[in-house]
Structure 1
Amino acid sequence: MNAPTPGRLILAATPIGNAEDASPRLRRLLAEAEVIAAEDTRRLRALAARVEVEITGRVLSHHEHNEQATVGELLAAVAAGSTVLVVSDAGMPAVSDPGFRAVAAAVAAGLPVTAVPGPSAVLTALALSGLPTDRFCFEGFAPRKAGERARSFALLAREPRTMVFFEAPHRLAAMLADLRDALGADRPAAVARELTKTYEEVRRGTLGELTAWATEGEVRGEIAVVVGGAPDVVEVSEAALVAEVLARVDAGDRLKEAVAEVAQAAGVAKRELYAASLAARGRA
């Protein structure tokens, strides 16, 4: 008896705010797919109602806390010949949302994988920021703990590409302050809020200006932060260099090696940076 022809695993981008951004292909697949893996099943059904689509397939909960456990079930359905649609709450699955593990497992198993392109908060924020778009990197959500966040940003002080982050509204002011301290108050940036929704706002300025704005009052909604890359010549404070050294040490580098590499890249004296790093390490 011949094995069944495998179906497909399809990553489908969903609207990031405006339901009118749902593509005809997304609508068709929502109606036709035998299995739909959704980050939030209630939001999926709300989206289907807004785009006037009746879901007839089996709906599975597939989120960051159960993704690893549900991948096997999704792949079994694909192997049996089903079309399995993977959707997140908004935007493209696998980009700071569930989906990566399913794709990696499908590729390893030799099963067909494709995507339905569409809305992306990363690209929308980048395009609206007014900052260079020829080279960029996506950094996702910054670490929640202040110390880890500061060390993470210190490693980005000399990143030449435009950077895109996501952030929760209640952490925005602290995040911007840490970016300002690590990258400099004059670094150009933009905060994009509620993209494609009724109260869409893109606030542009320097990190110093945006930090002051975010600190003045409560900022609400879903937020993306876009930061310009480092100029060809950038002066970095000793505190930022020390933070970069300590971040490298936390990642497994030896202190002397981390100091040597950071000092050479920044054009500063190794001895002074080593002493400052030792002192900061003692205070930590």
Structure 2
Amino acid sequence: MSRTPLISGNWKMHLNHLEAIQLCQKLSYELARHRYEQVEVSLHPPFVDLRSCQTVIDADRLEFKLGAQNCHDQNQGAFTGEVSAAMLAKLDVSYVIVGHSERRALFGETDEIVAAKAAAVAEADMTPIVCVGETLEEREAGRAAEVVSTQLRGSLAKLSRAQFETLVVAYEPVWAIGTGRNAEPRDAQEMCATARQVIDDIRRGVGSGVRIQYGGSVKPVNAQELLAQPDIDGALVGGASLDPVQFARIVQAALQACISIKAARQAKNQDRKNQDR
């Protein structure tokens, strides 16, 4: 099944609103040199930058989707310092990251909390990017698949079948985030394939349509090989997304992977036709 790659830039706690505008404009300039209709791009600035980014995206008719890094699971209430999914939807946010490993590790978010947030995002007609991934200790103990399966089953527990059909999952091995290390393409593919099978077990028949990103020290030098894997449908990019040149090269890598996969598929179909003659 054909799935449009999604390259998401997670800016984390970087850039004020003026710097955010500049980055949007610089990235637009870098990408304008190429055609990338086959790839979707989302930018996830800090909350205080969202309105500024939305304004420049609309005014300059940029081809980016606006994303957020987190949200609360309630629409409103006495939750000082929090931002609701309903508020984000009013800013034309399309994607919201939930359950990022930093949220799980630093802020104690459990699978139950992530599930509530994912449901809130979906109910607000946005798409949750649900993050899962194992620590180095869990991988070395041979528990990577078990951990990712448990996280998926818990974190997706409140989504309806229809909501599954627009879901994005990001597999991000915790040991590869911000460390300069990344999973080997074969290992990343294996884990993303495992995630897809778990999704299909949860909601039979939807696994083939769910986009699964890889996240963890994605850079131009490794992006194309990672994105060429059959079960990797994009990337959740951290540090490299703050550099418009590097991020544009990752988007281009996704485009090249699309072209290569399409060419391989066409060649395979032609071989079948030749054999049938």
On whether the aligned pair clears a TM of 0.5, the verdict is no
TM-score range, shorter chain: under 0.3
Greater helix percent: which structure? 2
Which one scores higher on RCO, CA 8 angstroms, separation ≥ 6?
Answer: 2
Which of the pair has more CA radius of gyration? 1
